[in-house]
Structure 1
Amino acid sequence: MMRSVLRRLQPSRALPVALVATAFAVALTEPADARRRGHHRPAGGYNPPYAAMVVDVKSGRTLHAVNEDALRHPASITKVMTLYMLFEQMERGRFALDSELTVSAYAAAQSPSKLGLRPGSTIEVEDAIKALVTKSANDVACAIGENIGGSESRFAEMMTRKARSLGMSRTNFANASGLPDADQVTTARDLTILARAIQDRFPRYYRYFQTRSFAFRGRTIGNHNRLLGAVQGVDGIKTGYTRDSGFNLMTAARLDDRQIVAIVLGGKSGASRDRIMADLVRSTLPRAYAGNRQTPAVVEVAERARPAVVADAASRTRTQVASADADEVETTASTAISEPLDIMPSRTTTPGSAGMRRPASPLPSSAQAYAPAAIQPSFPAGGKSEARLASVDAPSRVEAPVRSVATPRITPTAWVIQLGAMDDEDKAKSMLAEARARAGGMLGKAAPYTVKVEHGGATLYRARFSGFSEQDDAQDACKALKRSGFSCFATRS
């Protein structure tokens, strides 16, 4: 925010210093989540850059998309990734719901919206979760980042690496809260991946996004998300606002075995954003697939691993993590992997007053999360508007087959469960051992094994359980794994 403000407020020598200072102070008071503004539209013809996307969770099909690959500021939707990181640490046993997080002076000094915690004080993890979900408290988000990463900047780097491992190839985080920063960018498409991933990975903790209000030290704090309880099917998850981003909303909804995730970025006001989202949910949820899930859960891939882009008859292309099976999508003789030639945009785009930069310090090419070529625009030389940049033709693609080699230790049964893919076989075996220990009896007779996948010089090991003759048995075991905090899906062997 400071860099953005300074760019806008370069004073001439004739401009009074007091006037610049006043304007600078006013700019810094803009909250990351506009509680004080309510649902009113900011004055002055406010028109932030817009983007939106709706994805059918079960089929992976895109139901609605506008500027879905254009760079945007996430604002407080950032906190969904902050909570993803916290949930992961809780799953690993580092924190419990009653663990105390220490609040530094730096965290306490964050701009509103915040709880107003004092330097040196503590807050329980469960209260911290609820504070992010409801009040979108920036001081708490910063404290979470510092307690996990040691510093907020290091935590932001961890968040960016996590985004890459999930397949969010155009997202870069600079802080834990979503407070204004020119380097904090994402896309509507990337956020649909995050919306799916946090539900798939942490079903035990996702329920916190349904919190309407919570009591904290004598105060009752309500949720900024006004669609909860107002639109049928909506069960979360997060709002956001900065002046440069506009009014943002990430939503998940399910009804009658149908499930979607939806993103709206750049609403002109909270009310207009909510109307847009409500209309999208009501129009797309009835069109979502109601049968058994066709797409695997979003799982993390080790940094050196590459998600595969698999041809999909329903939606032309779909980003499949490397753990996806070739026989789970409609293909011909072999599955084709489409690799975009341009992994990251080559130029800076500047929608909004602060400008947007391409994600800083991208991972090496071997660690890049591959995405469909249609969502990796090759930015042309010369200045063009964001609207034109969003419509640039996708780069050409190359195709290469993927080769799977099953380890000959067991003969897989008709149905198997897959947990994920790792860049090291020992890691895959460790994942299987931990899953069996946590899931208990449901996996008592299941046989763990790995499948080696080679593609483009990268080697992955899929972690699987065999021992299921019927689809229902495999799905029941997978549900037990999800209750234990693991992502998984059942598939034919």
Structure 2
Amino acid sequence: MSSIAARCFATLALVALAAGCTTTTPPEAVLSVPAPPQKYAAIVVDAKTGKQLFEANSTAPRYPASLTKMMTLYLLFEALDSGRVTKETPIPVSAHAASQAPTKLHFRPGETIDVETAIRALAVKSANDVAVAVGEYLAGSEEAFAAAMTAKARQIGMRNTVFRNASGLPDDGQHTTARDMAVLGLALRQRFPQYYYYFSATDFTFRGKLVRGHNDLLGRVNGVDGIKTGYIRASGFNIVTSYDAGGKRLVVVVMGADSARERNAHVEALLERALAQGAGAPRLVFNQP
């Protein structure tokens, strides 16, 4: 366990003790909160029961950044399930899609990407050009796809989320909450268990080159099996994390950290706290680097 995570967990434990072990902890006690507009939010949910184990600012509006691509993938998985596309279906890349800011795979307009590779590019690399290409292919335009994303969000219980694009690139009208991101993380696993392994991948091969992902918790913490990171300047560093080990299944959302390292340490601290609730609960196991 990192020293940062240890300090976070120690602070969590002290605050919980002082507050009578409530499930809501003041955010300033567990993570440095940036100057306004405030960015930090977090939630921990028991994926088996739906019980909320911890929350801080979990219903306050936040920018999703690349967590947006979780919904892009949700709709792509639906298309796969319905037979509308197969894993071999070629998706054309428009000039609009190719023009997206990094992170991207640097397609040229007119090129194509198959659905299988598109899924990996979204889940692992968080490629913005691929996200837009998928949205345009499924809905005819990115705007229409964003409307479909928002409608699906309402359908699955995301009450306070509006999508304006398929990628999560900056848009003042695109917002979500930590709670809604937990709902989406839970829904992806429950609705598409056959595709969930994509979120566990740490790399994939594209055009003969190894493309590495951004989720450093994968492979570091035993039991962590996904799912998605995100960052834009307005949001800070975000993550939705799934944990499944020792009979415990949890979803942890942290939004608004000042760095990926701080975000990851806070996830570790929240996992430690959640696992410590209950006699005989498992402890986090960290792999050697």
TM-score strictly above 0.5: yes
Q: What is the CA–CA distance in structure 2 between the aligned matches of 1:274 and 1:46, rounded to whole Å?
A: 22
Shift of 1:46: 10
Shift of 1:282: 2.3
2:128 corresponds in structure 1 to 138
**Quick one: structure 1 residues 119 and 199, their matched pair in 2 at CA, closer, same or farther if it must change by over 3 Å?**
same
**Quick one: structure 1 residues 289 and 259, their matched pair in 2 at CA, closer, same or farther if it must change by over 3 Å?**
farther
Q: What is the CA–CA distance in structure 1 between the aligned matches of 2:133 and 2:154, rounded to whole Å?
A: 23
Q: What is the CA–CA distance in structure 2 between the aligned matches of 1:197 and 1:95, rounded to whole Å?
A: 21
Shift of 1:146: 0.3
Are residue 172 (structure 1) and residue 162 (structure 2) matched?
yes
From 89, 95, 100, the counterpart of 1:99: 89
Question: Considering only aligned residues, what root-mean-square deviation do their CA atoms show, in Å?
Answer: 1.8
How does 1:57-96 map onto structure 2 within 5 Å?
A: 57-96=47-86
Q: What is the CA–CA distance in structure 1 between the aligned matches of 2:77 and 2:277, rounded to whole Å?
A: 32
Q: Give identity over the alignment, percent.
A: 50
Q: Is the 8 A contact 1:167 1:193 kept in 2?
A: yes
1:255 corresponds in structure 2 to 245
Q: What is the CA–CA distance in structure 2 between the aligned matches of 1:93 and 1:286, rounded to whole Å?
A: 44
Q: What is the CA–CA distance in structure 1 between the aligned matches of 2:265 and 2:67, rounded to whole Å?
A: 18
Normalising to structure 1: TM-score of the pair? Answer: 0.49
Are residue 147 (structure 1) and residue 155 (structure 2) matched?
no
**Quick one: structure 1 residues 217 and 288, their matched pair in 2 at CA, closer, same or farther if it must change by over 3 Å?**
farther
1:314 corresponds in structure 2 to none
From 93, 104, 112, the counterpart of 2:102: 112
Relative contact order higher in (CA < 8 Å, ≥ 6 apart): 2
Gaps of 5+ in 1: 1-43, 291-493
Deviations 1:452-477 (A, max 9, x none): xxxxxxxxxxxxxxxxxxxxxxxxxx
Q: What is the CA–CA distance in structure 1 between the aligned matches of 2:135 and 2:273, rounded to whole Å?
A: 37
- Tell which structure's C-alpha radius of gyration is larger: 1
Q: What is the CA–CA distance in structure 2 between the aligned matches of 1:207 and 1:217, rounded to whole Å?
A: 22
Normalising to structure 2: TM-score of the pair? Answer: 0.83
Are residue 237 (structure 1) and residue 223 (structure 2) matched?
no
Q: What is the CA–CA distance in structure 2 between the aligned matches of 1:289 and 1:282, rounded to whole Å?
A: 13
Deviations 1:402-456 (A, max 9, x none): xxxxxxxxxxxxxxxxxxxxxxxxxxxxxxxxxxxxxxxxxxxxxxxxxxxxxxx
Q: Is the 8 A contact 1:157 1:173 kept in 2?
A: yes
2:128 counterpart letter in structure 1? N
Size of the aligned set, in residue pairs, is 247
SS at match of 1:204: coil
Deviations 1:63-103 (A, max 9, x none): 11000010000000000000000000000001111111110
Deviations 1:189-211 (A, max 9, x none): 11111010000000000110011
**Quick one: structure 1 residues 45 and 191, their matched pair in 2 at CA, closer, same or farther if it must change by over 3 Å?**
closer
Q: What is the CA–CA distance in structure 2 between the aligned matches of 1:178 and 1:204, rounded to whole Å?
A: 25
Name the structure with the higher helix share: 2
Deviations 1:259-318 (A, max 9, x none): 01010000011110111011112221353799xxxxxxxxxxxxxxxxxxxxxxxxxxxx
Deviations 1:215-237 (A, max 9, x none): 10021111100000111210000
Q: What is the CA–CA distance in structure 1 between the aligned matches of 2:171 and 2:208, rounded to whole Å?
A: 33
Q: What is the CA–CA distance in structure 1 between the aligned matches of 2:223 and 2:180, rounded to whole Å?
A: 22
How does 1:333-344 map onto structure 2 within 5 Å?
A: none
Are residue 270 (structure 1) and residue 268 (structure 2) matched?
no
Instruction: Return structure 1 stretches of 4+ with deviation > 2 angstroms.
Output: 44-48, 285-290
Q: What is the CA–CA distance in structure 2 between the aligned matches of 1:58 and 1:70, rounded to whole Å?
A: 25
1:183 corresponds in structure 2 to 173
Are residue 158 (structure 1) and residue 148 (structure 2) matched?
yes
1:207 corresponds in structure 2 to 197
Gaps of 5+ in 2: 1-33, 281-289
**Quick one: structure 1 residues 288 and 215, their matched pair in 2 at CA, closer, same or farther if it must change by over 3 Å?**
farther
Shift of 1:47: 8.3
Q: What is the CA–CA distance in structure 2 between the aligned matches of 1:97 and 1:211, rounded to whole Å?
A: 17
Q: What is the CA–CA distance in structure 2 between the aligned matches of 1:127 and 1:248, rounded to whole Å?
A: 24
2:208 corresponds in structure 1 to 218
Q: What is the CA–CA distance in structure 1 between the aligned matches of 2:66 and 2:279, rounded to whole Å?
A: 30
SS at match of 2:195: helix
SS at match of 1:203: coil
**Quick one: structure 1 residues 207 and 288, their matched pair in 2 at CA, closer, same or farther if it must change by over 3 Å?**
farther
Shift of 1:107: 0.2
2:192 counterpart letter in structure 1? F
1:86 counterpart letter in structure 2? L
